[in-house]
Structure 1
Protein backbone atom coordinates (compact mmCIF):
# COMPACT_ATOMS: atom_id res chain seq x y z
CA UNK A 1 0.00 0.00 0.00
CA UNK A 2 2.93 2.34 0.67
CA UNK A 3 4.07 2.11 -2.96
CA UNK A 4 0.54 2.89 -4.15
CA UNK A 5 0.41 6.00 -1.95
CA UNK A 6 3.85 7.12 -3.10
CA UNK A 7 2.85 6.55 -6.73
CA UNK A 8 -0.36 8.56 -6.28
CA UNK A 9 1.50 11.44 -4.61
CA UNK A 10 4.20 11.39 -7.29
CA UNK A 11 1.63 11.36 -10.10
CA UNK A 12 -0.22 14.25 -8.42
CA UNK A 13 3.00 16.23 -7.90
CA UNK A 14 4.14 15.90 -11.52
CA UNK A 15 0.79 16.87 -13.02
CA UNK A 16 -0.11 19.56 -10.49
CA UNK A 17 3.39 21.05 -10.65
CA UNK A 18 3.20 21.24 -14.43
CA UNK A 19 -0.28 22.75 -14.23
CA UNK A 20 1.00 25.37 -11.80
CA UNK A 21 3.91 26.27 -14.08
CA UNK A 22 1.60 26.52 -17.09
CA UNK A 23 -0.79 28.68 -15.05
CA UNK A 24 2.05 31.10 -14.37
CA UNK A 25 2.35 31.53 -18.13
CA UNK A 26 -1.36 31.27 -18.99
CA UNK A 27 -2.79 33.85 -16.59
CA UNK A 28 -0.56 36.88 -17.23
CA UNK A 29 0.35 36.24 -20.88
CA UNK A 30 -2.37 34.23 -22.62
CA UNK A 31 -5.59 35.24 -20.82
CA UNK A 32 -5.26 38.96 -21.69
CA UNK A 33 -4.63 38.12 -25.37
CA UNK A 34 -6.96 35.16 -25.92
CA UNK A 35 -9.48 35.30 -23.10
CA UNK A 36 -9.82 32.78 -20.31
CA UNK A 37 -11.71 30.14 -22.30
CA UNK A 38 -9.23 29.94 -25.17
CA UNK A 39 -6.21 30.18 -22.91
CA UNK A 40 -7.48 27.26 -20.81
CA UNK A 41 -8.37 25.24 -23.90
CA UNK A 42 -4.90 25.88 -25.36
CA UNK A 43 -3.36 24.44 -22.19
CA UNK A 44 -5.44 21.25 -22.23
CA UNK A 45 -3.48 19.30 -24.89
CA UNK A 46 -0.26 20.03 -23.03
CA UNK A 47 -1.78 18.79 -19.78
CA UNK A 48 -3.17 15.68 -21.50
CA UNK A 49 0.34 14.91 -22.76
CA UNK A 50 1.82 15.45 -19.29
CA UNK A 51 -0.84 13.16 -17.79
CA UNK A 52 -0.03 10.44 -20.32
CA UNK A 53 3.72 10.55 -19.67
CA UNK A 54 3.39 11.00 -15.90
CA UNK A 55 1.20 7.89 -15.69
CA UNK A 56 3.82 5.93 -17.63
CA UNK A 57 6.54 7.26 -15.34
CA UNK A 58 4.80 6.14 -12.15
CA UNK A 59 4.10 2.73 -13.66
CA UNK A 60 7.79 2.33 -14.45
CA UNK A 61 9.00 3.80 -11.16
CA UNK A 62 6.59 1.95 -8.86
CA UNK A 63 6.42 -1.64 -10.08
CA UNK A 64 4.06 -2.64 -7.27
CA UNK A 65 1.20 -0.62 -8.79
CA UNK A 66 1.20 -2.58 -12.03
CA UNK A 67 -2.10 -4.24 -11.19
CA UNK A 68 -5.53 -2.97 -12.20
CA UNK A 69 -6.62 -2.24 -8.63
CA UNK A 70 -3.44 -0.50 -7.50
CA UNK A 71 -3.09 1.56 -10.67
CA UNK A 72 -6.67 2.81 -10.30
CA UNK A 73 -6.07 3.51 -6.60
CA UNK A 74 -2.96 5.58 -7.39
CA UNK A 75 -4.86 7.52 -10.06
CA UNK A 76 -7.84 8.16 -7.80
CA UNK A 77 -5.56 9.30 -4.97
CA UNK A 78 -3.91 11.77 -7.34
CA UNK A 79 -7.38 12.89 -8.49
CA UNK A 80 -8.55 13.51 -4.90
CA UNK A 81 -5.36 15.43 -4.11
CA UNK A 82 -5.78 17.54 -7.25
CA UNK A 83 -9.43 18.38 -6.58
CA UNK A 84 -8.56 19.16 -2.95
CA UNK A 85 -5.71 21.44 -4.00
CA UNK A 86 -7.84 23.17 -6.62
CA UNK A 87 -10.72 23.77 -4.23
CA UNK A 88 -8.35 24.77 -1.44
CA UNK A 89 -6.71 27.38 -3.64
CA UNK A 90 -10.07 28.70 -4.81
CA UNK A 91 -11.63 28.84 -1.36
CA UNK A 92 -8.67 30.08 0.67
CA UNK A 93 -6.41 32.09 -1.61
CA UNK A 94 -9.09 33.54 -3.87
CA UNK A 95 -11.55 34.04 -0.99
CA UNK A 96 -14.42 32.40 -2.88
CA UNK A 97 -17.18 30.11 -1.74
CA UNK A 98 -17.54 26.72 -3.42
CA UNK A 99 -20.62 27.98 -5.27
CA UNK A 100 -18.81 31.08 -6.50
CA UNK A 101 -15.91 28.98 -7.70
CA UNK A 102 -18.13 26.55 -9.63
CA UNK A 103 -20.18 29.42 -11.10
CA UNK A 104 -17.02 31.23 -12.21
CA UNK A 105 -15.82 28.32 -14.38
CA UNK A 106 -16.34 28.74 -18.12
CA UNK A 107 -18.91 26.23 -19.35
CA UNK A 108 -16.81 25.05 -22.29
CA UNK A 109 -13.31 24.97 -20.83
CA UNK A 110 -14.72 23.85 -17.47
CA UNK A 111 -16.41 20.86 -19.12
CA UNK A 112 -13.21 19.93 -20.94
CA UNK A 113 -11.33 20.31 -17.65
CA UNK A 114 -13.73 17.92 -15.90
CA UNK A 115 -13.30 15.38 -18.68
CA UNK A 116 -9.52 15.74 -18.44
CA UNK A 117 -9.73 15.20 -14.66
CA UNK A 118 -11.46 11.87 -15.29
CA UNK A 119 -8.79 10.93 -17.82
CA UNK A 120 -6.19 11.91 -15.21
CA UNK A 121 -7.81 9.67 -12.59
CA UNK A 122 -7.79 6.59 -14.81
CA UNK A 123 -4.70 7.12 -16.97
CA UNK A 124 -2.44 4.86 -14.86
CA UNK A 125 -4.93 2.04 -15.43
CA UNK A 126 -5.22 2.87 -19.13
CA UNK A 127 -1.43 2.96 -19.50
CA UNK A 128 -1.14 -0.32 -17.60
CA UNK A 129 -3.00 -2.01 -20.45
CA UNK A 130 -0.51 -0.69 -23.00
CA UNK A 131 2.41 -1.79 -20.82
CA UNK A 132 1.10 -5.35 -20.84
CA UNK A 133 0.38 -5.47 -24.58
CA UNK A 134 3.76 -4.13 -25.66
CA UNK A 135 5.86 -6.10 -23.21
CA UNK A 136 7.18 -2.94 -21.56
CA UNK A 137 6.21 -4.37 -18.20
CA UNK A 138 8.60 -7.27 -18.66
CA UNK A 139 11.43 -5.00 -19.87
CA UNK A 140 10.94 -2.59 -16.97
CA UNK A 141 11.14 -5.31 -14.34
CA UNK A 142 14.44 -6.80 -15.55
CA UNK A 143 17.52 -5.73 -13.57
Structure 2
Protein backbone atom coordinates (compact mmCIF):
# COMPACT_ATOMS: atom_id res chain seq x y z
CA UNK A 1 0.00 0.00 0.00
CA UNK A 2 2.13 2.80 -1.28
CA UNK A 3 0.92 6.39 -1.07
CA UNK A 4 0.38 8.35 -4.25
CA UNK A 5 3.53 9.65 -5.81
CA UNK A 6 4.10 13.20 -6.94
CA UNK A 7 5.80 12.78 -10.31
CA UNK A 8 7.01 16.39 -10.49
CA UNK A 9 10.72 16.38 -11.35
CA UNK A 10 12.90 16.99 -8.31
CA UNK A 11 10.20 15.91 -5.85
CA UNK A 12 10.38 12.81 -3.70
CA UNK A 13 7.58 10.42 -2.75
CA UNK A 14 5.18 11.84 -0.21
CA UNK A 15 1.97 10.67 1.37
CA UNK A 16 -1.34 11.88 0.03
CA UNK A 17 -2.25 14.20 2.87
CA UNK A 18 -3.68 13.62 6.27
CA UNK A 19 -5.59 10.47 5.28
CA UNK A 20 -2.38 8.44 4.95
CA UNK A 21 -0.99 9.88 8.18
CA UNK A 22 -4.28 9.09 9.95
CA UNK A 23 -4.32 5.51 8.61
CA UNK A 24 -0.70 4.95 9.57
CA UNK A 25 -1.31 6.39 13.04
CA UNK A 26 -4.33 4.12 13.51
CA UNK A 27 -2.37 1.03 12.48
CA UNK A 28 0.58 2.03 14.67
CA UNK A 29 -1.80 2.46 17.61
CA UNK A 30 -3.46 -0.93 16.99
CA UNK A 31 -0.10 -2.72 16.86
CA UNK A 32 1.25 -1.16 20.05
CA UNK A 33 -2.08 -1.30 21.91
CA UNK A 34 -2.41 -4.97 20.99
CA UNK A 35 1.06 -5.71 22.33
CA UNK A 36 0.25 -3.74 25.48
CA UNK A 37 -3.02 -5.62 25.94
CA UNK A 38 -1.27 -8.99 25.74
CA UNK A 39 1.62 -7.91 27.97
CA UNK A 40 -0.73 -6.18 30.42
CA UNK A 41 -2.77 -9.36 30.78
CA UNK A 42 0.38 -11.37 31.46
CA UNK A 43 1.59 -8.70 33.88
CA UNK A 44 -1.64 -8.60 35.90
CA UNK A 45 -2.19 -12.37 36.00
CA UNK A 46 1.33 -13.66 36.62
CA UNK A 47 3.90 -10.93 37.29
CA UNK A 48 2.09 -8.61 39.74
CA UNK A 49 1.28 -11.41 42.24
CA UNK A 50 4.95 -12.40 42.36
CA UNK A 51 6.73 -9.03 42.20
CA UNK A 52 4.17 -6.28 42.91
CA UNK A 53 2.79 -3.50 40.71
CA UNK A 54 5.88 -1.31 40.41
CA UNK A 55 8.33 -4.05 39.46
CA UNK A 56 5.80 -5.67 37.12
CA UNK A 57 5.19 -2.42 35.25
CA UNK A 58 8.89 -1.64 35.06
CA UNK A 59 9.58 -5.16 33.73
CA UNK A 60 6.99 -4.60 31.01
CA UNK A 61 8.43 -1.27 29.81
CA UNK A 62 11.51 -2.56 27.92
CA UNK A 63 9.35 -5.09 26.07
CA UNK A 64 6.88 -2.36 25.15
CA UNK A 65 9.80 -0.20 24.03
CA UNK A 66 10.92 -2.91 21.60
CA UNK A 67 7.33 -3.46 20.42
CA UNK A 68 7.05 0.29 19.81
CA UNK A 69 10.24 0.32 17.73
CA UNK A 70 9.11 -2.62 15.59
CA UNK A 71 5.60 -1.22 15.10
CA UNK A 72 6.88 2.25 14.18
CA UNK A 73 9.45 0.86 11.76
CA UNK A 74 6.89 -1.40 10.11
CA UNK A 75 4.34 1.40 9.67
CA UNK A 76 6.87 3.90 8.32
CA UNK A 77 8.23 1.36 5.84
CA UNK A 78 4.76 0.08 4.88
CA UNK A 79 3.53 3.58 4.05
CA UNK A 80 6.89 4.60 2.53
CA UNK A 81 6.95 7.85 4.47
CA UNK A 82 9.92 10.10 3.69
CA UNK A 83 12.07 11.23 6.62
CA UNK A 84 10.07 14.42 7.09
CA UNK A 85 9.46 15.34 10.74
CA UNK A 86 5.97 16.71 10.17
CA UNK A 87 4.72 13.54 8.54
CA UNK A 88 6.32 11.06 10.91
CA UNK A 89 5.51 13.03 14.05
CA UNK A 90 1.97 13.34 12.71
CA UNK A 91 1.73 9.54 12.63
CA UNK A 92 3.00 9.33 16.20
CA UNK A 93 0.68 11.99 17.56
CA UNK A 94 -2.37 10.52 15.81
CA UNK A 95 -1.49 7.18 17.43
CA UNK A 96 -0.96 8.88 20.80
CA UNK A 97 -4.40 10.46 20.51
CA UNK A 98 -5.95 7.06 19.85
CA UNK A 99 -4.02 5.57 22.76
CA UNK A 100 -5.19 8.21 25.23
CA UNK A 101 -8.80 7.91 24.07
CA UNK A 102 -8.63 4.12 24.42
CA UNK A 103 -6.99 4.38 27.84
CA UNK A 104 -9.59 6.76 29.24
CA UNK A 105 -12.74 5.42 27.56
CA UNK A 106 -12.11 1.66 27.45
CA UNK A 107 -9.38 0.61 29.86
CA UNK A 108 -10.43 2.69 32.86
CA UNK A 109 -14.08 1.54 32.80
CA UNK A 110 -12.94 -2.09 32.40
CA UNK A 111 -10.76 -1.66 35.49
CA UNK A 112 -13.59 0.13 37.30
CA UNK A 113 -11.62 3.35 37.80
CA UNK A 114 -12.40 7.01 37.33
CA UNK A 115 -9.69 9.26 35.90
CA UNK A 116 -9.02 10.68 39.38
CA UNK A 117 -8.70 7.18 40.85
CA UNK A 118 -6.42 6.17 38.00
CA UNK A 119 -3.96 9.01 38.62
CA UNK A 120 -4.14 8.54 42.40
CA UNK A 121 -3.40 4.82 42.08
CA UNK A 122 -0.35 5.20 39.81
CA UNK A 123 3.00 4.34 41.31
CA UNK A 124 5.17 7.48 41.12
CA UNK A 125 8.16 5.68 39.61
CA UNK A 126 6.30 3.42 37.17
CA UNK A 127 3.93 6.29 36.36
CA UNK A 128 6.82 8.58 35.46
CA UNK A 129 8.35 5.90 33.24
CA UNK A 130 4.94 5.38 31.61
CA UNK A 131 4.71 9.10 30.81
CA UNK A 132 8.18 8.98 29.24
CA UNK A 133 7.09 5.95 27.22
CA UNK A 134 4.07 7.88 25.93
CA UNK A 135 6.47 10.53 24.63
CA UNK A 136 8.70 7.86 23.10
CA UNK A 137 5.64 6.28 21.49
CA UNK A 138 4.70 9.62 19.91
CA UNK A 139 8.15 10.34 18.43
CA UNK A 140 9.23 6.82 17.49
CA UNK A 141 7.92 6.98 13.88
CA UNK A 142 10.27 9.93 13.39
CA UNK A 143 13.22 8.19 15.03
CA UNK A 144 13.07 4.85 13.20
CA UNK A 145 14.31 4.26 9.69
CA UNK A 146 15.65 7.78 9.77
CA UNK A 147 17.90 7.61 6.72
CA UNK A 148 18.39 10.85 4.89
CA UNK A 149 19.41 10.54 1.26
CA UNK A 150 23.18 10.57 1.12
Q: TM-score range by the shorter chain?
A: 0.7 to 0.9
CA contact (8 A) 2:32 2:67 kept: yes
Quote the residue 1:100 is aligned against: 117
Which has a greater percent of helix? 1
Matched, 1:67 2:87: no
- Which consecutive residues of structure 1, in runs of 5 or more, have no partner in the other structure? 136-143
RMSD: 1.6
Q: Residues 80, 64 of structure 1: CA spacing in aligned structure 2 closer, same or farther, 3 A cutoff?
A: same
> Where do 4+ consecutive residues of structure 1 move more than 6 Å?
none
CA contact (8 A) 1:15 1:50 kept: yes
The offset of 1:98, in angstroms, is 1.2
Bigger drift between 30-39 and 63-72 goes to 63-72
CA contact (8 A) 2:83 2:148 kept: no
TM-score with structure 2 length normalisation?
0.82
Highest Rg: 1 or 2? 2
Match of 1:117 among 116, 121, 134: 134
Match of 1:51 among 59, 63, 68: 68
**Whole-Å Cα distance in 1 between the matches of residues 60 and 143 of structure 2?**
22
- CA offset digits 1:61-97 (Å, max 9, x no partner): 0124642111111100101111111112344223322
Q: Residues 90, 16 of structure 1: CA spacing in aligned structure 2 closer, same or farther, 3 A cutoff?
A: closer
Match of 1:30 among 47, 63, 78: 47
**Whole-Å Cα distance in 1 between the matches of residues 42 and 92 of structure 2?**
26
* Count of equivalent residues: 133
TM-score with structure 1 length normalisation?
0.86
- Which consecutive residues of structure 2, in runs of 5 or more, have no partner in the other structure? 1-17
- Alignment partner of 1:132: what SS? coil
Quote the residue 1:8 is aligned against: 25
The offset of 1:127, in angstroms, is 1.6
**Whole-Å Cα distance in 2 between the matches of residues 34 and 65 of structure 1?**
43
